[in-house]
Amino acid sequence: MSETVQAWLVERTYSDDEQNIIILVYATTDGTRYHRKERSLTSFESDIRDTYAAIEIPEDELGRVGDEETRANYAAAAQEMAETHDPTDVV
């Protein structure tokens, strides 16, 4: 069993390719690791799922951020979330 790593919400976008897909990106506060989740919204009324400021992710499910600009952006966004929210805050 791999250990978990706390990652903070750094990006929330709607998919360009498919309707009703939200893409959530969580990253570590140093911006070097990330996890992408796609969430399908079948109905705004019946599909209510909270999005948390931070989640625990198994270490082996984290990807590596490849470029410096993205790494810096993720680090800044993750640090801001960590400073202004508790991990269990719904955002």
pLDDT tens per residue across all 91 residues of the chain = 679 999 999 999 987 776 778 899 999 999 999 999 988 876 555 556 789 999 999 999 999 999 999 999 999 999 999 999 999 999 9
Show Cβ contacts of residue 28 under 8 Å, excluding neighbours closer than 6 positions. 5, 6, 7, 8, 34, 62, 74, 78
Query: Residue 67's domain spans which residues?
Result: 4-84
Considering the domain boundaries, does residue 90 fall inside one? no
Considering the domain boundaries, does residue 53 fall inside one? yes
Predicted confidence at residue 18, as pLDDT, reads 64
pTM given for the model: 0.88
Q: How many domains is the chain partitioned into structurally?
A: 1
In the sheet that holds 4-14, the strands lie side by side as: 54-58, 4-14, 21-27, 33-40, 63-64
> Rounded to 5 degrees, what angle do the CA atoms 45, 51, 49 make?
30
Considering the domain boundaries, does residue 60 fall inside one? yes
